[in-house]
Structure 1
Amino acid sequence: ESPVGRMLTGWDDIPLQVSGVYRDWGEESTINTDFIVSLSTLLENHWGGLGWKGGDSWFDYILVKEGTDLEVLNRKIMEVIEANVPPTDDFSLKASAIPLRDVYRGQESVRMSTWTLSFLATLILIVTALNYVLLSLSALSRRAKAIGVHKCSGAGRGTIFAMFAIETLIIIAVGLVFAAFCFYVARRFAQESIYDNFAAYISADRLWVVAGVVVLTFGIAALIPSVVFSKIPVSQVFRRFVEKKHRWKHSLLFVEFAGMSLMGGLLAMVIAQYHYIMDLDPGYEPDNVVCITRSNDGKEHREALMKVYASLPYVDQVAIGSMPPGYGYSGEFVRDDHGSPLFSSRYDNWNNKDFAELMGFRLLHGRYPEAIDGSEAVINQEFSRLMGWKDDDAVGRQFRISDQNVTVCGIIKDFITGTLYQEQQPYMAMTEDNGWSQRFFLKLKEPFGQSYASLMADEKELMEGASNFSCVSLGTQYRQTYHSVEVFRTMIMTGAIILLFISMIGLFGYMRDEMHRRSREIAIRKVNGASTAEVIEMICRSVMTVAIPAVIFGSVAAWLIGRYWLEQFSVQAPSITAMYLLSGIITLILIALASTGMTLRTANENPSKSLRSE
């Protein structure tokens, strides 16, 4: 049955007739609307034909002709704006056109996360490949005779090169199988953090990513050891080979330690910032508060529902408001006496002061507004600052919005009107009975989970079967606002664990080679009276000589990257610098403990075992 011509009801009681059906936008689009209403219909019915006079902007979509120069187009747009709305010292308008594909990836937070994760992924990839090179070169002294035997049997450099290249390729293939298993196990997390549709993420048109990773890994991990092993002379089969060039291995060890320190520093920074955000006082009390949204059925019906909600045994307080804190508010220009806009303030409507008390706003001076004609307003500290007033001197002053003078009756403490990704915004609130305040705010009793479940169970009866009922926990909503930070923390933690594991494997290979190469030296030192502690100190000193500058380098790099990532927040944890320092110290302790543990066995060994073959 065709929906064209059918009537839709329920959206703010505006009668809508279906004029057509359009194709879904798709999962990769930032436009996810379910229906489209003309702007004239919206203005006429939703705002009573008054139009929009707030301090917000509209998004317009332009289909440009092929070959259009956006720079020229934007210049002409600004020429039209400046000709009709000339800029002043206090006010100016700006508009620009950008490709639709850049709307999402052009966002500062998206670009920041993309750059940071790309850098970390590349770091893990390179460290992993270099770790394989380190292990291969560390095995050089043990495999030299085998290479010599192959060459005595007729193998040339090309054969030896191909032998190690194929060996590396087999290991990479096994790694891909294991990676596929990890992707399958972590597919739910991947859907939440990387891509909504996991099947699309690994589709054929994105296989070039996997191919690029394989080629880069093979290029680093296979070519370097293959070239080194293919150059071993045949004479190595007749004598004991002792590799004395340590620069290669020390350089690779430096990269691993620096990478481990970098990831550890970033992890400490992200954890500190995340917990600081979660523990930060938002300026209101979202815990145990739920917001119920429904269409506006008039004052009498709202008051009747208020009484019903207040009578429920699991409800502590009830109030009506237009918007919950943390969702962002509509804008309204604050103007001077001549009507010129000063700044755009966030704008809110309360039904009465019960809303402020339920949300836990902190009243600093004066009182909450009582007049219902919009002539009184309570403002926050930022609003007072932008007006050039002192907090204790703002009560009784006036400002102008649209065509109305408003008197300040009280000042509340600044609270998070939007998110911590934004600077503190000015805020004003009035008590107006104009139908805008249509959301019910309920403070539920403890235990919250049980009270919330009871409310959901009573939904059908309370809402009289209405289908446009929505109930949101403000505490949950506040935490979900920073879900991307939690996901980023999990990614960094995963990367840090992987890099720590890889670095320990590389350190183990290096130490095993050192013990093999220096076994005679250690035995001779012990015969001449060296203690186990002295032997351990000697070996660990060479490791720490590489580790200390590497950890310092990695910690500084983590500070630089972390500073870039932290720019998206308006507040930062005060303990972040100490977290970088603590992370570096812990990294050095781990390296020292691992080196000591790997040296202990050789240091305690009977010297005769190492000298019997001499």
Structure 2
Amino acid sequence: MFGNYFKIAFRNLRRNKIYSLINIAGLGLGLACAMLIILYVKDEVSFDRFHKNGNNIYRIVSKVDEEGHRRQNSNTGYLQGPRFAQHVSGIRDFVRIESSTVNIKTGADVSTQDALRVDHSFFSMFSFPLLGGNAQTCLREPHTVVLSEDAARKQFGTTDAVGKVLMIKEDSTFAPFRVTAVTKRCPQNSSIQFEMLLPFSASDEAMSTNENWYSYFLNTFVTLEPGQDPLRVGEQMQRFYLADAREAFNILVERYGDHGASMGTYFLQPFADMHTNTALPATNGLSHASNPVYSYILSAIALFVLLIACINFVNLTVARSVKRAKEIGIRKVVGSDRRQLVLQFLGESFLLCFIAFSLALLIVQLILPSFNTLANKALSLSYLLDARLIGGYILLFLFTGFLAGSYPALVLSGYRPVETLYHRFNIAGKNYLQQSLVVLQFALASFLIIATFIIYAQFNYLTRTDLGYDDRNMVAVNKYDIQHPEAAAFRAELLKNPGIRSVAVKDGGYSFTGARLANDSAISFNYVTIDEAFFPTFRIPVVQGRNFSAAYPSDAAHSVLVNEAFVKQAGWKQPLGQIVNFFYNNNEIYRVVGVVKDYHYASLTQKIGPQLFTMKESNPYGTFYIKIKPGTEAATLQYIQRTFRQFFPLSPYSYVFKDEANRQSYAAEAKWKQILLLSAVLTIFISCIGLFGLSVLATERRTKEIGIRKVLGASVNSVVAILSKDFLKLVAIALVLAVPLAWMAAGKWLENYPYRITPGWQLFAIAGVLVIAVALATISFQTLRAALANPAKSLRTE
């Protein structure tokens, strides 16, 4: 019996090749999309869970309430780890992780390598397997280094590097560091990524100074004893901190002023919570911080696409039921009962699902490399070889097959033989369920398309908005901790080249500090050290007062410039001549001589904050910004490199174009823009397959009506209009449902951006017209075919 069912199923597939292909392709695409997203979400939730003792690993974090606002801090300093481990019961061990960059000398070449400085118990806490060396002792001695297998190959051409020596810059000279271990490559789903580990060290003075409770520059992790309650341990930590740090806090308040400061509260963050925690993310030496919103969005897309694919299967199967009506009648006449027919149609459904699953696996294998590039992942099909995931796919297969086949099986098996043999039946009545399903799938597709339009517009806004400065033909070259006279000499030498228009110097990175104003109020700001050429080079206008100038020798000692955001926060009506007091540096007094226009010194995902600019001679520079003439790039870059080598032979040389670096800051947004665009295209494509199926059903049901209308003189256009009206009505209902939901969701999402678009009616109108046009194009194929058919052929069988 079952063999007969399979023969009939294959015959039907072969006889209706186009519809079978569409059915299988639609379901296969939906399943492939779901599989890819399940792989992504599985990777997200698996982050940092491979450590053997991971459930007992926590990060020390803190929170402080200031002026009604809660600020959380994931960074700690020298003291938190050792003090808490020594004085709080339940803490077994601690590890501090500090981000660092080191210079390595190989022969005459000098290169830069990111490194982590960690405590010697690093490998006791974290499960990073070694290829060579002793995990217990490899980080105990100074002047030792642990390399990853990739770093070992890069430096020595082999992973057998234990005992070899690297020349690493320490202070101002290169010193030998012995390789004591080589590790396997860090798993992709690890927040701790490293190529090089160095022993963490702190002076006795730093460890004994209680004021270092308030120095935050690294991550500290602790391992709790099994069975310990992290909330109870956190309460003990807080009690000890309040007792141990109270005197240091009072000294700092007396020295710098109160300004609403509080001691704050320490608590423990689960290690596996960091990856998707936006308030306390994996930063400052940790990697791959993620936003859980992306997982939610992708999961919703997977659900949408899979649901739409199943709806299509139902619609297409019922649409083809007219062709099988006589078969059903004959089967019933010769003795088939309804149960056998249900089994047959469910069997065909599961057969199609099996083929679709096989196709989905092939699609996933083919597009996985591209998906990895878009999602910045390293996923593989081997991730599917997980017992729970395989069980999930089996359940998905059964659920999809039953959902897609149950309704057609119940409807088709319920036909009465007399009606089916004489075509005296109405397929599914008015098709309310099918029409509802089409409305649902087009509402989902329209929602996703409108959301994609808005997200696309926002990302374009982020990448194309004027940053407030000119970054074209600008080359950035880093040379950290360079003093002002040496920087001036290098700058003068660069300007001798006719291909270089200007050179500006700035400190390396971004630093934040605070100061007092004349009314004794406090202000925090981005603290920037520049030279007098910085604003002219970047074409940042000075809107009040003047720029720094060599004509005013006292500028370096007594003058500062501020941005408009600083003036606004300070509440100044007349900023020129205002006093800024760096009270913690022996009350250094500076006077504001100019105000510069606000510019986006960071990504547009961050609001422009107060900035203060100084030329203070004791502050080192770190980056040269070199404006070059267009068309001279190759020769000028060679000149810059030669000059750099001449001035700084022991420093690594690298450069980046500033406009390219700015674009890279939105790389994640650009990839998500592509993912959402592809999802929207896929969703509308699969939805159109369902609409095509419904148009097939309607035209086959109304074949004789169309023939009679044509015999009575109806034109092709009028027939097409009659057949299209009902479908367009469904699409219009879907749009009415989708537009307000998409508008609310987009508004909520845009609140995350300080600089954002305001979605206008044009976006919704364009999306609506697109959906209707695609739907009309889909319907037109079948309606035109029906309208152009010979009416005699339609009426012949009556």
- Taking structure 2 as the reference length, the TM-score comes to 0.68
Mapping of 1:426-505 within 5 angstroms?
426-434=610-618, 436-447=620-631, 450=634, 454=638, 458=642, 461=645, 466=650, 468-505=652-689
- d(CA) in 2 for partners of 1:175, 1:348: 59
Equivalent pair of 2:318/2:697 in contact (CA under 8 Å): no
Query: Who is 2:269 aligned against?
Result: 98
- d(CA) in 1 for partners of 2:212, 2:770: 57
- Tell me, which stretches of 5 or more residues in structure 1 are unaligned? none
2:545 is equivalent to residue 366 of structure 1: yes
Closer/same/farther in 2, CA of residues 516 and 217 from structure 1, 3 Å limit:
same
Q: SS state of the match for residue 101, structure 1?
A: helix
Mapping of 1:8-19 within 5 angstroms?
9-10=168-169, 13=172
Per-residue CA deviation, residues 301-332 of structure 1 (Å, 9 max, x unaligned), is 434432343234433221221146xxxx2110
- d(CA) in 1 for partners of 2:376, 2:575: 49
Query: Who is 2:311 aligned against?
Result: 130
Query: Who is 2:461 aligned against?
Result: 276
Closer/same/farther in 2, CA of residues 360 and 510 from structure 1, 3 Å limit:
same
Q: SS state of the match for residue 275, structure 2?
A: helix
**Which amino acid in the other structure matches residue 197 of structure 1?**
A
Match 2:202 to one of 8, 32, 40: 40
Query: Who is 2:222 aligned against?
Result: 62
- d(CA) in 2 for partners of 1:216, 1:456: 64
Query: Who is 1:608 aligned against?
Result: 792
Larger RCO: 1 or 2 (CA < 8 Å, sep 6+): 1
2:720 is equivalent to residue 550 of structure 1: no
2:107 is equivalent to residue 107 of structure 1: no
- d(CA) in 1 for partners of 2:382, 2:763: 35
| Deviation of the 1:64 alpha carbon | 2.8
Query: Who is 2:514 aligned against?
Result: 333
Closer/same/farther in 2, CA of residues 219 and 336 from structure 1, 3 Å limit:
farther
Q: SS state of the match for residue 227, structure 1?
A: helix
Closer/same/farther in 2, CA of residues 502 and 26 from structure 1, 3 Å limit:
closer
Equivalent pair of 1:272/1:579 in contact (CA under 8 Å): no
- d(CA) in 2 for partners of 1:228, 1:105: 46
Match 1:27 to one of 188, 192, 197: 188
**Which amino acid in the other structure matches residue 136 of structure 1?**
T
Closer/same/farther in 2, CA of residues 28 and 448 from structure 1, 3 Å limit:
farther
Query: Who is 1:164 aligned against?
Result: 345
- d(CA) in 2 for partners of 1:235, 1:339: 96
| Deviation of the 1:203 alpha carbon | 4.9
Query: Who is 1:314 aligned against?
Result: 499
- d(CA) in 1 for partners of 2:259, 2:641: 56
Q: SS state of the match for residue 368, structure 1?
A: coil
- d(CA) in 2 for partners of 1:448, 1:114: 45
Mapping of 1:32-431 within 5 angstroms?
32-33=193-194, 34-36=196-198, 38=200, 40=202, 58-74=218-234, 84=246, 85=249, 90-92=260-262, 93=264, 95-107=266-278, 110-199=291-380, 202-205=383-386, 207=390, 210-211=393-394, 213-240=396-423, 241-243=425-427, 244-296=429-481, 298=483, 301-323=486-508, 329-335=510-516, 342-350=522-530, 352-369=531-548, 371=554, 373-390=556-573, 393-401=574-582, 402-403=584-585, 404-431=588-615
- d(CA) in 2 for partners of 1:194, 1:213: 24
Closer/same/farther in 2, CA of residues 110 and 317 from structure 1, 3 Å limit:
same
Per-residue CA deviation, residues 96-119 of structure 1 (Å, 9 max, x unaligned), is 431121112112761222211211
Equivalent pair of 2:564/2:610 in contact (CA under 8 Å): yes
- d(CA) in 2 for partners of 1:311, 1:79: 63
- d(CA) in 1 for partners of 2:211, 2:392: 49
2:765 is equivalent to residue 581 of structure 1: yes
- Taking structure 1 as the reference length, the TM-score comes to 0.86
Equivalent pair of 1:55/1:344 in contact (CA under 8 Å): no
Q: Percent identity?
A: 20
- d(CA) in 1 for partners of 2:483, 2:188: 38
- d(CA) in 2 for partners of 1:303, 1:52: 36
Equivalent pair of 1:10/1:295 in contact (CA under 8 Å): no
Query: Who is 1:515 aligned against?
Result: 699
- Size of the aligned set, in residue pairs, is 602
Closer/same/farther in 2, CA of residues 188 and 546 from structure 1, 3 Å limit:
same
Closer/same/farther in 2, CA of residues 41 and 463 from structure 1, 3 Å limit:
farther
Q: SS state of the match for residue 97, structure 1?
A: strand
RMSD, aligned α-carbons:
3.6
**Which amino acid in the other structure matches residue 689 of structure 2?**
I
